[in-house]
Structure 1
């Protein structure tokens, strides 16, 4: 994943101040998506919380608050999903953010799916891991 982020920053030199910034922001966005759209999370993050959580991630400098607020607003309105629910109307997701998230996280997700595949004989669990792996590609 670190190599991907380095490559992303090399190909998009104006996007972030460093690969570390892109890496940290990607995880922050995943956490925001979970916080905003998981019904188990009772105390939802506010825009100020999101901005505060990302203080100093730009090599010790703060990212533009307007940029972070825009990310917060888009992700809060449009959940990042791997697969649409058949019963829900199809929602437009910010393709740029979704693509970046998948590019940054696919290797870790694939690694996470591989652990139960190697350690379990449960057919349901194996099926779910295989389905998740296929969705990455």
Structure 2
């Protein structure tokens, strides 16, 4: 091997899922900042569950909650989805971790547990909302 030959980093495959997650989170966060709050209430219904049943799924309202939170309207965010601001905070925390580790580090146990608790809380709130409607 020559001194001038570039050293190619070995990839163990871990960075690809992290990179995909990072791009997805960055896109969602940017979208929440760019969407005007006045247009999110009058847009089309995109949720497949709601389109088929007419009932909200456990995640219905999260997009609106993210947009409201990103624009500083936390009261409307909690009205759109009670867990929305928490999910957004978790997304920001996860994105920050991905950037800090350059998308190569192992997903820490505390962040994995926090993500699981947030997902279960979102599901629980969604099921309570659904039960109230039925």
Fold-level match, TM-score > 0.5? no
The TM-score normalised by the length of structure 1 is 0.29
Q: Which has the higher contact order (CA 8 A, sep 6+)?
A: 2
The TM-score normalised by the length of structure 2 is 0.30
Larger Rg: 2
